[in-house]
Chain A
Amino acid sequence: MASYELSSTLARFLDKHLCFPLLEFLQDKGVYNEEDIMRAKIALLQNTNMVDFAMDIHKELYQTDEVPATMMERRTEVVNRLRSLQKAVDPIIGCLSNSNVIRNFRHDRAFNLQFLKEEFDIGPEQIEALYQFAKFQFDCGNYSMASELLQAYKPLCTTSERNMSVQWGKLAADTLTQNYEAATEALLRLRESLDNQSFATPLMQLQQRTWLMHWSLHVFWNTENGKNALIDLFLQPAYMSAITINAQHLLRYLAAAVVVNRKRRNVLRELIKVIQQESYEYSDPITQFLECLFVHYDFDGAQQKLIECESVIEHDYFLTAIKSEFLESARLFIFETYCRIHQCINIDMLSERLNMDKEAAEKWIANLILSARLNAKIDSKAGTVVMGMQSSSMQESLAEKAKQLSVRTFTLANAVVGAPATKA
């Protein structure tokens, strides 16, 4: 299954800290050699300030109490830096913790700076230190603190580039503290600023959009309405082009989100088209499943792919939570599509298709019929399901057209003359 394992690809687009949960997950699943993962973790932590953590892992990995000197050095270095930064930011933190000060802040950044300067003698150095401190805290794994600091820093930052960094930092920090509500908000803001920034070169924009999509996976797959938001975001033209250019593997998540999300069937066609286009660049069981089902109408193939999907999803950090949901929806997908082009289906065959025994399949279908999601009847003697003919007669379609016409005309007339309601 490792061939469909995306962690290494994803890691390229994720923050160091955001990679960490993935590694933990992989360690749990045991897809890779545990030692390898631990080593990867150390490598990851090497560049952060979480030296103690790295030491722990090191001890665990090599079963020793010894730690390499480099780590110790790094530790002292980090501590020293912490001290100096702490010292630098103390005044500004003290000042900002005063709620009165915050209240005096306005939207005008220049004004804020002026205000601080005049009132508390806090200059650009301190403000800069604040930012550095936040970054430092973040690197230390102290995400909630980092988030707060960034929040405080935000009204004071002057350049738009710095502003972007702050937003990225905020998003990462909120994500890592699992404060998904805040993260969603940060994501939204970041996205807006990404779309609005005019200074970035196209290449940069592309890069940042790709990052955003990757980071957002953490948020979207963990929030209530995340799948919807994910579909919305990924199908944005600019983001879609980023996917096709830079990160075709994201199609997996988009596909999974669409399959799971019944309300968003309407985007299916669009998705299928993209999947087909990119099939020579990227394909995995999930996209193949959709391809089989909606391009080739190869139900056996789809069935096969679904089985593969199961293990892929199981080993995917983001998708593992929706595994059963996905399988259920996928099955329904198969069945629905199957029914659309058949007028008579053998229940035996169907149960086989659905991976259920005959009894259960019959029950499942009966349920569907009951809940009026399927226009069909079971012929239990012949052991078949007979679809109700949805063939609309000419008459019906004419009536339909006429109805639609009248509605539209009415709206138009209202619009032109003015609706009675508005008159009144």
Chain B
Amino acid sequence: MASRFWTAGSDSDEEEVDASEEENSSSEEESSSSSSSSSSGSDSSSDSDSDSDSDSDSDSDDSDAPKKGAARFLAGSDSDSDSDEDRRVVLKSAKDKRFSELTDTCDEIRNKMKINDWSAIQGLFDELNKRLERARKVSEAVGTPRVYVRMCVELEDFLNDTLANKDLKKKMSSTNAKALNTMRQRLKKHNTSDEFAEAVTKFRENPQEDEEEEEEEEESSSSSSESDTDGEREETEKRPAGAAKKKDKLLTMDSAEITYEMVAKKLREIVTSRGRKGTDKQEQLREIVTSRGRKGTDKQEQVEMLQFLANVAKGVPQKLEVLLQLVGSLFDLSPGISNYMKVGLWKRCMLVMLEIMDTLQANEAIVLDDSAEPSEERTAEPVAGEDGKVRVWGNLVAFVERLDDEMFKSLQVIDPHTHEYMARLRDEPVFLALSQKVHDYLARIGDVRNQPKVALRLIEHFYYKTDAVYDAMRKLTMLQQEEAAASAAAHPEGAVAAASAAAETAAAANTSNEPGEEQTADDKVALPVPLDFSMDESSTAAMKRLVGIVFTHGDERAKARAMLCTIYHKALHGDFHSARDMLLMSHLQDNVMLMDISTQILYNRSMAQLGLAAFRLGLISEAHSCLQELYGSGHIKELLAQGMAMGKFQDKTPEQELLEKRRQMPFHMHISMELLESSCLISAMLLEVPAMASSPLSVKKRVISKSFHRILDTYNRQTFTGPPETVRDHIMAATRALMRGDWSGAYGAVSALTVWQLVPQRESVLDMLKKQLKEEALRTYLFSYSAQYRSLSLDQLCTMFEMDEKAVYSIVSKMMIAEDLHGSWDQPTRTIVMHSIEATKVQSLAGQFADKATLMVELNERAYAFRTGGLRDDDDMGGGGGGRRGGRRGQDGQWEDDGGHGGRGRGRGPRLGAARMGLGQGGQDFGGHRRGGGGGGRGDRGGFRASGFSSNMTSGLPDRFQRRGPYRQQANPNMQALGSISRPGGGVGGGPGGGSYNRPLGGDRRDRGL
């Protein structure tokens, strides 16, 4: 227990003083009730204090309060003895007041020293002297208060420094310089005057010992008074002078501090002679708990105190309480939400947490519970409840979450290309172990409310890990465990002792607060992975187990997140179909816009991963629809939180920027941007090139991927095309080749991309790409050049595209059936015979005319149908059928809303026949018809949909989901995708007309999207 507290040098403390001074001001405003409860058993004193306070408030500095009490500051040996009752001695507020006035002034002087304001120092120095006089009057005793002496010494030193610093001197304003000179003279005179000279020299000789002595003295004589120690004074009594009102609470505080300090000393004795003063500890702990939230207390000091207490605590429950408080205090040490917790500190927290868990594991009767009564109200040992359980107040989950957050934050900030980052990542197993322990513990005590929270945290550590990474993590864990075991064997004290030793090292390193030493602190703190922790064999198993828990007990957000993580994980492992089913079933795409931003980011990440999975499996159109919106938005970096957008169009306020920074994913969780781009563009290419070839001149060609077209246009406009460099270049080169039907050229360009190295199944992906490219090249070739042939031999096509006969046959047949290719097979000769029909000018004009006339009739029909509802005759069978299908489709928007009635309403359609479709449906019906049959089957699934998931969610992992989406996509990609898979943006408001281009990131960015 080499507490900094005892050895506190005057210099190092100053920074802290500074910091805590600001805090002080607010802390004073706390209600007096809390202060009274905080005072350690010295109720009477605190009461009287507050009474006198109300007096002194009015008359402020110049109060005529009794003066005799001040003596206690100086000698303090007269009245106090070792016992507890001593602390109850009513302190005379007047002497305290005098004393604190002195200290205040000293502090102020120090402040001024910092800003080099000599004129102010001069004034304050005068005041200080005046106060000293007054204090002397009050305190009867003779002697100079240490504070004062110390101030003098400091002032002198500072003066000399300033004088030595010529530059500074020159910069000073004239008044300041004048004041400096005055001060020099006065101080010289002052310090050499016999009144002080001795004290000063004595102080100079041996400031440390001096304090020690005084501590000793204090110990023997006890009582609150000896808080004379400089460091303590600074910590406890700083506050702006003149804020008289605050004085009293400070006093209470003061006494509180002193009490526990004192008790700590006693506790130190207790270490040797156990068994005394259980209640003291209790009181002390209570005190720390209450003062924790307050700003006036020194956190560092508290931590040490707690650490010490933890070692000497009596009884397991109390130890737990102390430890829990310790974790809390450790958290308090870190500087707020914008910065991350220092790694050393974090590790210390982890150690304490592990200790807590060990304790809990060892003592099954103890139940941590945040609903149990806080320890404040208890004075005696907590008694076992009726069920034989001891309830201790504490919230492990909050700690785990906080630790996780801090780790996340640190990973965000640390440069990913450094060793530091790697080292940080190595801490993950320990965290996992801790979470697992907490999780198991919660499971044991049956806390289903909190269990999912921890499970979710664990899930979020697992979901993005590929098998390789997961295995590596497992190995690392085992390795660390071995090391820990080895070191535990080496140190006979056992692992716990080693841990606490490590913690102390960390503490020592940490207190220095110097960034330079941070590194060494990290090295010193070895975080042993608990030996009883083992990771699941596969990440899939781990995920399944945890997700099950979240689904059974979690709240909506946890469920959604767990679901997204599962989707991501499944997609990552190539299980595209079930990942997609989960996504569609959960209807996450419908309401993701309503969720918090981090969930939206997770959604986008899952979407991206889903797209990549589809791509790897060769499901090109699915991959495209997953990735297109993400990529096409042009904000993919922001959407995935993998980098800040270089704002071209918008100026973000600093706050927004800060928020965005806080959302960023740590590097090791990133999805390769380049891979995403390649996958997206290649999918677009494979879809787009044959489509362009099939209708080269058509004006109304449906655009599959706008961004692809844009890039292609730019590429085509280039006057000079160099060899491909970027991803885009490569793919554009491939596109060019593919448009000529040159598959090998296209493959060459595509396979030259470096990103394929990032794909684990590189070979299979490239094979898939080759196959796809061949097929699409064949289609493109036939589209483009079939008109030039009268007949084409199957064998020739096979050799041209290096495909087997069956595949070519299948593709060509498909094109024939779809009437993309006007021709037919001649079986005996194995050739394709083209029947190209060329229209004459008149014919094509007539055709156009007929089309227009048809359009007009259709419009008329629609107008009529709109009024009366339905026109077509039953005998128009094809139309009827199409109408029925289309009708269903047209109503999709409606189904989305009333899924419950969907079945019934739709059920009516076919039986009544298209002609009697209800009023109002007519229009839609018609529209659907014109869009051409097709995807009826698709949208129909909606009937069940609106109602779908909630029930499923509750029943654990449902095996099968409601789905819609991608099918419709396939059927008719240019339909507005009604909340289908193609909308990574989340399809809120995704009614058919709601073309709102939702971006997944809400808030500030949402409005831009609209």
Contacts and interface: CB of A to CB of B under 8 A. Distances in A.
Interface of A: 195-196, 198, 201-203, 205-206, 209, 232, 235-242, 244-246, 266, 269-270, 273-274, 277, 280-281, 296-298, 300, 337, 340-346, 349, 382, 384, 387, 389, 391, 393-395, 397-398, 401-402, 404-405, 408-409, 411-412, 415-416
A273 B967 contact: yes
A300 B809 CA distance: 12
A405 B854 CA distance: 6
Given A237-B888, A245-B962, A415-B864, 11 more contacts: A195-B907, A201-B947, A202-B947, A237-B940, A238-B902, A240-B937, A240-B941, A241-B945, A344-B826, A402-B850, A405-B853
A247 to B, nearest CB: 9
Nearest to A296: B810
Given A341-B816, A394-B837, A273 B850 contact: no
Nearest to B971: A273
A237 B826 contact: no
A412 B860 contact: yes
Contact of B827 (A246, A337, A344): A344
B826 A241 contact: no
Nearest to B858: A408
B857 A409 contact: yes
B41 interface: no
Interface of A, secondary structure class, is helix
B581 to A, nearest CB: 9
B840 A198 contact: no
B933 A241 contact: no
A47 to B, nearest CB: 25
A351 B890 CA distance: 46
A341 B937 contact: no
Contacts of A206: 944
Contact of A401 (B854, B941, B944): B854
Nearest to A343: B824
Nearest to B962: A245
Contacts of A412: 857, 860-861, 864, 871
A205 B903 contact: yes
Contacts, number: 159
Given A237-B940, A273-B971, A277-B967, A245 B961 contact: yes
B595 interface: no
B837 A393 contact: yes
A222 B769 CA distance: 49
B936 interface: yes
Given A206-B944, A273-B971, A343-B824, A391 B835 contact: yes
Interface residue SS majority, chain B: helix
9 contacts: A195-B903, A196-B904, A237-B943, A238-B940, A241-B962, A242-B944, A340-B817, A342-B826, A344-B826
Contacts of B817: 297, 337, 340-341
B1006 interface: no
Interface of B: 577, 806, 809-810, 813-814, 816-817, 822, 824-829, 833, 835, 837, 839-840, 843-844, 846-847, 850-851, 853-854, 857, 860-861, 864, 868, 871, 873, 878, 881, 885, 888, 899-900, 902-904, 906-907, 910, 933, 935-945, 947-948, 951-952, 955, 960-963, 967, 971
B912 to A, nearest CB: 13
Given A237-B888, A398-B843, A349 B944 contact: no
A415 B871 contact: yes
A111 B903 CA distance: 32
A340 B937 CA distance: 25
B837 A298 contact: no
B51 to A, nearest CB: 67
Contact of A408 (B843, B861, B878): B861
A202 B738 CA distance: 48
Contacts of B888: 237
Contact of A298 (B806, B847, B904): B806
Contacts of B948: 202
Nearest 10 Cβ contacts at the A-B interface = A237-B940, A238-B903, A297-B813, A202-B947, A241-B941, A195-B904, A401-B850, A238-B943, A394-B843, A343-B824
A416 B864 contact: yes
A297 B861 CA distance: 39
A175 B828 CA distance: 53
A3 B951 CA distance: 33
Nearest to A395: B843
Given A343-B826, A343-B833, A240 B947 contact: no
Contacts of A411: 871, 873
A28 B183 CA distance: 118
A416 B868 CA distance: 10
A394 B944 contact: no
Contacts of B938: 273
A356 to B, nearest CB: 17
A392 B822 CA distance: 11
Contact of A280 (B577, B825, B828, B873): B577
A395 B857 CA distance: 21
